Amino acid sequence: MYKKVTILGSGSWGTALAANLSKKGCPVTLWGRDAEVLKSTRECKENKKYLPDIHLGDAIIYEDNLAKAVSQAEIIISAVTSQSFREVMRTAAPFVKNGKIIVNVAKGLEMNSYKRLSEIASEEVPKLSYTILSGPSHAEEVGKGMPTTLVASSENLEDAETIQDLFMSDRLRVYTNPDVLGVELGGALKNIIALGAGISDGMGFGDNAKAAMMTRGISEIARLGVKMGALTGTFFGLSGIGDLIVTCTSMYSRNRRCGILIGQGMSPNEAVRQIGMVVEGVYTAEAAYKLAQQYGVDMPITEQIVRILNDEADAKSAVMSLMSRGKKHEQEELIR
């Protein structure tokens, strides 16, 4: 018998997860702020605004009352954006009883505080049981039932295995990993590199440039992560190189699409507006760069992305800065 699940966030990812769990026979409630979107989705059995052409069936319950949605759940899955996460956790906290598992599926760092979402959750919901679900997973493909692999990470192995069992199917394969810090950082920081990959594409560069961006990108992500205490191997798994590959190469990726527009000459603000949904890398870049400075870690790609986003450099000059850096031996930066 499946536990009762409430998904907070009726965007594309929350809707895709609701569709998958519902098909397995799991009792699912989907909460969202926008009552009109929920009403339309309930009536059409399709989230026309955020995940069109995906049939949702009849079993999903739609709820715009957060207290009611959280109170009845045994597992709470947060699919709101990283910048909305603290507010939603704070509002939900009075209704989260002991024994409930909170699962976060957003990927980002909080602006201004530069905190990871697990840190925010522990501040807002005392004594919570926290798990993160991450990996290379576009909502559009998951919603269509295409094969996807994910990783569930928690300091409590039993909770990670509970989430593993909840989502496992012949279309979703879920691994476990105890390195919450590494899984969070991999999922958050790859969005910055995806912006860079998109900028490269928008400027008309080829596969060589993108391969360099991705390879050197995962290197600087891992440098910061290991310095902060994460496990090296995590960055070469699903939530590291796996998520980086899919986000840097797919047109489903908002971060890559935003980067393409910037590379074609559009201002960062206008590019974000044209995407029309949250572009997590734009918010995470500044936080990642501040963390790099705090920990004394060299992150040249991230630094140049921040300069572009802050209108301190254009794409062409940022590329020249990266390409004209001093000579290095590749293995002098080998992660140990």
pLDDT for 49: 95
User: Which domains are seen in the chain, by residue range?
Assistant: 5-178 (3.40.50.720), 181-333 (1.10.1040.10)
pTM, entire model: 0.94
Token pair for residue 83? 């910048």
The dihedral sign for the CA sequence 152, 156, 157, 163:
negative
Chain position carrying tokens 């039993």: 158
First to last CA, the chain: 45
Q: Give pLDDT, residue 280.
A: 95
Q: Within the chain, which residues score under 50 in pLDDT?
A: 335-336
Check residue 128 and give its pLDDT.
85
Hey, which residues does 153 pair with through a beta bridge? 132, 177
Q: Side by side, which strands form the sheet with 28-31?
A: 61-63, 28-31, 5-8, 75-78, 101-104, 129-134, 148-153, 172-177
Q: Tens digit of pLDDT for each residue in 112-135?
A: 999 999 999 999 998 789 999 999
Are 107 and 280 in contact, with CB atoms under 8 Å apart?
yes
Which stretches within 178-279 are classed as H helix? Answer: 180-202, 207-228, 243-249, 254-263, 268-275
Which position among 4, 190, 316, 327 bears the catalytic label? 190
In the residue annotation, 45 being an active-site residue is answered as no
Q: Could you give the C-alpha distances from 195 to 178, 304, 310, in angstroms and in order?
A: 28, 11, 14
Other Cβ atoms closer than 10 A to 94: 11
The number of CA neighbours under 13 Å toward the Cβ of 323 is: 9
